[in-house]
Each structure stands twice: as C-alpha cells, then as structure tokens.
Amino acid sequence: MRALRAAVAIGLVALAASACGSGHHTTFSAYSNACGLSVPRPADFHRRFWSASGAGGVTIGDGVIGRANTADWSEDPSQVDLGVDWGIVYHGPPSAPAELRLPLSLDDLDRGSGGLTLWRGVFRNGDQECGIQVWLGPHAPSADRSAVLSALQAIKASH
C-alpha cells in the first residue's frame, strides 16, 4: 500500500511539473522608464540609454549594445534586442499611430521588410508617440529569444 501511495504521489508531482510548461521563467533585474513605459531588463542582459536631437530611449539586449539604430541590429545574427524610444521619425505609410494596448506581443508589431527577424511599431501612449522594436537574431540562443519576448510582454505603463 505504501508503494502505491508513493507511486501516486510521484505521478502527481510529475503531472504538476509538466503542466507548468518548459519551466522557463524570466527574471527581470531592473526596469527602465522610456516614453511613459516601464521596460524590464532580463537578468544578465545589458541596457543602454540614449538621447539625441530631441529623441531618446532605452535598448536592452543579450550582447554589447551599439547604436540605437535598429538597422544596425541585423549585423549580429546571434543577438536579441528590445528598444523603446520616443521622438523618432519613422518612414512608412502616413497614419496616426494606434493607441498602445498592453500587454504587447510580436503580433502587435509589423515585421521588417525582406523577412528580417525585426519587428517594430509606433503607438500613442497618452500624448507621446512611442516606437517599440524587437530584433531576434536568427542564430540567437532560444533562451535569450524567450527572455526578450517575455520582456516585451512585461512592459507596463509607468506611474
């Protein structure tokens, strides 16, 4: 009877563990304010603030963060980045930006041209226009890709 109880208990623990999915949980080590948003930084990621000509923002990434220009991100296929900025002029069809709705996912962003692993969107957050960009390098570790997507989903309005 004890063996049966032990087997049932072990089976329940295994079932509960499998129900939790992969068990991957992203820990955020810091939050940065940009464009009226609180942007989380996954543990072991880097952060870079920037400001130029009335624009600014924050970029987080799993590697060395160079310039804020997302066109430069594609130079490193093994890196992931998340950027939130304000005051940038985006080229594309003229339209009023959509009101920001949280939480965000890649489905809320437009994919870069040429099938790049770059997504971006421009949103209205109160009286500000915010640009949000995600770069998922095609050779980046899956854990880093997951961490930056978790950070995207965890962006909150700052108070």
Q: What is the CATH number of the domain that holds 127?
A: 2.60.120
User: pLDDT tens digits for 19-63?
Assistant: 334 456 899 999 999 999 999 999 999 999 988 888 899 999 998
Residue 41 pairs with which residues in a beta bridge? 30
Question: For the chain, how many structural domains are there in total?
Answer: 1
Residue 4 lies in a domain: no
Domain span including residue 47 = 27-157
Residue 7 lies in a domain: no
Pairing of strands 128-136, 80-86: antiparallel
- CA–CA distances in Å: residue 82 to residues 13, 14, 22, 94: 36, 35, 23, 24
Q: Assign 152 to helix, strand or coil.
A: helix
Provide the mean pLDDT of the chain.
81
Residue 54 lies in a domain: yes
For residues 121 and 134, the answer to whether their CB atoms sit within 8 Å is no
Residue 68 lies in a domain: yes
Global pTM?
Answer: 0.79
What percent of the chain is modeled with pLDDT above 70? 75
Residue 9 lies in a domain: no
CA 31 to the chain's CA centroid: 12
Q: Is residue 67 predicted with pLDDT exceeding 70?
A: no
Residue 22 lies in a domain: no
> Is the four-CA dihedral 7, 9, 13, 16 of positive or negative sign?
positive
Residue 50 lies in a domain: yes
